[in-house]
Amino acid sequence: MIRPRNLPDLIGALLFMALGIIVSVEAYRLESYATSVMVGDHTLPFLLGIVLVVLGAVLLFQALRGKGKKGTTAVQGAAGTETSSDERKRILLCLGALFLYVVLLYALGYWAATLIASFLLFRLIGFYRWLTSFFFSILLTGCLYGVFIFWLQITFPSGFLFD
């Protein structure tokens, strides 16, 4: 057996393919409760299971044929480059921004929490300037509000500070 050069991708691919198969089998079991083959509670899980299997197969193919660097001991990123301490710090700050979003969503509600969290994430991930990040966060918040409130008619939390 040829040992793959990218073991984490191989393991991830096999796990996602297995998860996709499990989800598809469970969706097939739900089909007996549906009134139609194409419409029902089983359709989305089945499609997601198929997507997981296909993308897992693509990742498996890339993991088996990928070229690995020999003799490297540093922490490797997704593209094979070394991860610097600045990138690790930025990842932790993004995780902190998401936790802050959860707290702010409960306290301030959707509008303010999404505006603040998306602004922070645009700054951290996108390296945008302050004004550009603010503009994109307003645009993202407005678009999500339009889709969920007007189109899908789902209510968002208003926050206990504004009740």
The answer on 94 and 58 residing in a single domain is no
| Number of domains into which the chain is organized | 2
The answer on 129 and 91 residing in a single domain is yes
C-alpha 28/C-alpha 101 separation (Å) is: 36
The answer on 145 and 91 residing in a single domain is yes
The answer on 33 and 91 residing in a single domain is no
Examine the pLDDT at 34 and tell me if it is beyond 70: no
User: What's the pLDDT at 5?
Assistant: 67
User: What's the pLDDT at 162?
Assistant: 67
Let me know if residue 144 belongs to a domain: yes
Contact, 62 vs 4, CB < 8 A? Answer: no
Let me know if residue 56 belongs to a domain: yes
Let me know if residue 76 belongs to a domain: no
Q: Which domain holds residue 47?
A: 7-65
Of 156 and 18, the structure prediction assigns the larger pLDDT to 18
The answer on 126 and 97 residing in a single domain is yes
All residues at 6 or more sequence positions from 160 whose CB lies less than 8 Å from its CB, including other chains: 106, 107
**Which of the four pLDDT bands, split at 50, 70 and 90, describes residue 106?**
confident
C-alpha 119/C-alpha 130 separation (Å) is: 8
